[in-house]
Structure 1
Amino acid sequence: MYFQFNFAIDENEDNKPDSHGELDSQLCSPKHEWESVEKSKQTAETTADSSLRPGTDKHQDDTLPKKKFCFKAAKEHNIPEDLQKVLENKVIETVSDLYYINMSAVEMTRSDAANGEDIVSKSVSSHSDLIPGVYEGGLKIWECTFDLIDYISEAEILFANKAVLDLGCGAGLLGIVALRGGAAEVHFQDYNSTVIDEITLPGAVANCVREGRRMGRGGNRKTGKPPSKRPRKAKCSPNALTKCRFFSGEWSEVSQLLLNSNKPFSKYDLILTSETIYNPDYYSALHDTLAQLLDKNGRVYLASKVHYFGVGGGIYLFERFIEERNVFRSSIVKIIDKGLQRYIMEMAFKDSS
């Protein structure tokens, strides 16, 4: 089954593009005009009571999509020695004082059919930003990513000497923020290998290689937008890339790859993830991955909308799922009450300090 979303971004003071800006095709959020916030909350709570959780015998609500979770094999992507070649033919832009790769240019210059995914052409031809089990949205930068970046700054979350995972990373902006903050190591994961090769890894390289060559006091020259008011974190350098590892594949497969690898692996002090709870069918795999990879005293910071129309997931449904599993404690640490409500959730093991 295919799900199609329409998207818009509201302009704000943090240099986030508006729906008429040049970045509109890439920085996306589902439009929220369909229903009120209160109705979305009721929908989510109703869904939470009636839907099938993976691994339970509860009756499944017929309104929810019935899909099998696709166990896409995990792969680690090596960082090429020639960093300039990684950026060849890439259009590099900035948002929130971070570099990212313009996906529209990738669509025009590359066909990814050779690697077996072909998600660029499939996404374009279907006019869809979500093809379950095929393409899970990593070619876009989703709205809640910026909510979590803002919260990281507001809450003064410290990354120094910590192991961090950017789960469902897409462009990898959350991981880049951690890298700038002095993290000891940062791992990036996305469902699709094309996203890692064409978006995430080049974006990380751009932030490290080009850090010393900022575009001047006028901000982004291409868009003419002012520089971000957010304080800059520690700068990256090419050496910072030695702290990074990149993975593609389904969550549980990546988890097994890490846990069974011959390479040294320490569980994560922090796991950052944005807009990954849109589909209830994925909750079991996500929950188990967090439980397997998070350090006993670690924290998960998850950004989400109140409800994802057409897909069935949302913050209330995931909260209920966590409660039933009884592994983590969770709390809502921030509510963004603009349009369709958005949330930042903190998770930790119940027996953690």
Structure 2
Amino acid sequence: MAFRFNFFIDESENNEPDTHKTDLQLCSPKHKQESIEKDKQTADTIADSSPRPGTDKHQDEMPSKKKFCFKAAKEHNVPEDLSKVLENKVMETVSDLYYMKMSLVEMTCLDGTDEEGIVSKSVSSHSDLIPGVYEGGLKIWECTFDLIDYFSEAKIRFTNKTVLDLGCGAGLLGIVALKGKAEKVHFQDYNSTVIDKITLPNAVANCVSEGSRTGSGDGRKTSKPPSKRPKKAECLPDALTRCRFFSGEWSEVSQLLLSSSKPFAKYDLILTSETIYNPDYYSALHDTLVQLLDKNGRVYLASKVHYFGVGGGIYLFEKFVEDRNVFRTSIVKTIDKGLQRCIMEMAFKDSS
């Protein structure tokens, strides 16, 4: 079956990742706060990262004690009419992946299509992070591309795997898994606006046939195709039947999955990028991984070494995991270009 979509590929600028935005962090759901004793010695040795706009470096001294409301979990269905998902959308490309032009999504949401109001709140507060309200999913952060590069370098195989893109934002990690012939790929983001306006359209754009990627409703090409395009689309629209999309905070999404009447198999792979910027979230993240990862599964987590503003980072999270004594961890790659970043692999201690 052939599909035609009225969307455009923006080639007016370089299609490389917009790294100037990456001193902020990707989304991560809020959970009931638990006091976390910060390891002062570890934190003191962690390398610097850029501060978040609208935050104070001195906030690093202690995790926030403020409590936030739970955000209920919701599953988002793929619309039957895929043409509506991509109608009049402008897409950008990187590494043969298609994704929504974020600035235009934000402009559209300011016109009243954002039911959560996260864009207007972000603009009014001059921040890409409002804890418990908006957790940064309208941006793509550089660690996402670090992890994508690592998949290729380490020859990570997705074939026949069940995969969760946790704190997915644009969903590029899950889309890479889908293109790698994963059996199932689930996407989770804190905000429903992110899933509806960004994640779902990105998944659709990467699953349609190549011929429809640059086609308009009247069959005319709307722009010159990217210079580096696959000769043949690796995914067909029916790949979307292998996808599910969820919004809500981690514990709520876990509960929804585990209590659902639909068959649920724990994940072989959980992929997550820049979700450990705030130590207040570590307990929720750890519990989610324990509940949803298969006994022989793997977690691949990408992070900056340290985040100013809320004080999280790879070594602090590593210590947290070590203290819980459930997972074994390994730093499998360190990136020294720009702000120091790391890729961590996690597995249950009793796994094979």
Shorter-chain TM-score category?
0.7 to 0.9
Rate the CA distance shift 1:168–1:80 in 2: closer, same or farther, 3 A: same
Q: Distance in 2 between matches of 1:246 and 1:18?
A: 25
Aligned 1:274-293 pairs, distance under 5 A: 274-293=273-292
Counterpart for residue 203 of structure 1: 202
Counterpart for residue 344 of structure 1: 343
Counterpart for residue 10 of structure 1: none
Query: Shift in Å at residue 47 of structure 1?
Result: 9.0
Q: Distance in 1 between matches of 2:345 and 2:18?
A: 29
Higher relative contact order (CA 8 A, sep 6+): 2
* Aligned partner of residue 303 in structure 1, secondary structure: strand
- The one-letter code matched in structure 1 to 2:16 is K
Rate the CA distance shift 1:224–1:209 in 2: closer, same or farther, 3 A: closer
Q: Distance in 2 between matches of 1:290 and 1:245?
A: 18
Counterpart for residue 149 of structure 1: 148
Q: Distance in 1 between matches of 2:83 and 2:160?
A: 28
Q: Distance in 2 between matches of 1:253 and 1:167?
A: 13
- The one-letter code matched in structure 2 to 1:299 is R
Rate the CA distance shift 1:123–1:151 in 2: closer, same or farther, 3 A: same
Query: Shift in Å at residue 110 of structure 1?
Result: 3.3
Rate the CA distance shift 1:212–1:336 in 2: closer, same or farther, 3 A: farther
Aligned residues: 306
Counterpart for residue 88 of structure 1: 87
Answer with 231-240 or 197-206: which moved more: 231-240
- The one-letter code matched in structure 2 to 1:128 is S
Answer with 190-199 or 88-97: which moved more: 88-97
Whether the 8 Å contact between 1:181 and 1:233 is mirrored in structure 2 is no
Aligned 1:23-102 pairs, distance under 5 A: 28-30=21-23, 45-46=43-44, 62-102=61-101
Counterpart for residue 129 of structure 1: 128
Q: TM-score, normalising length from structure 1?
A: 0.80
Q: CA RMSD in A?
A: 2.8
Q: Distance in 1 between matches of 2:170 and 2:308?
A: 24
Q: TM-score, normalising length from structure 2?
A: 0.80
1:227 aligns with 2:228: yes
Query: Shift in Å at residue 120 of structure 1?
Result: 1.3
Query: Shift in Å at residue 127 of structure 1?
Result: 2.1
Q: Deviations over 1:128-153 (max 9, x none)?
A: 11110000000000010000000000
5+ residue gaps, structure 2, are 1-13, 25-38, 47-58, 215-221
Rate the CA distance shift 1:297–1:108 in 2: closer, same or farther, 3 A: same
Query: Shift in Å at residue 106 of structure 1?
Result: 1.8
Counterpart for residue 11 of structure 1: none
Counterpart for residue 264 of structure 1: 263
Q: Deviations over 1:257-283 (max 9, x none)?
A: 000000111000000000000010000
Whether the 8 Å contact between 1:277 and 1:315 is mirrored in structure 2 is yes
Q: Distance in 2 between matches of 1:279 and 1:61?
A: 9
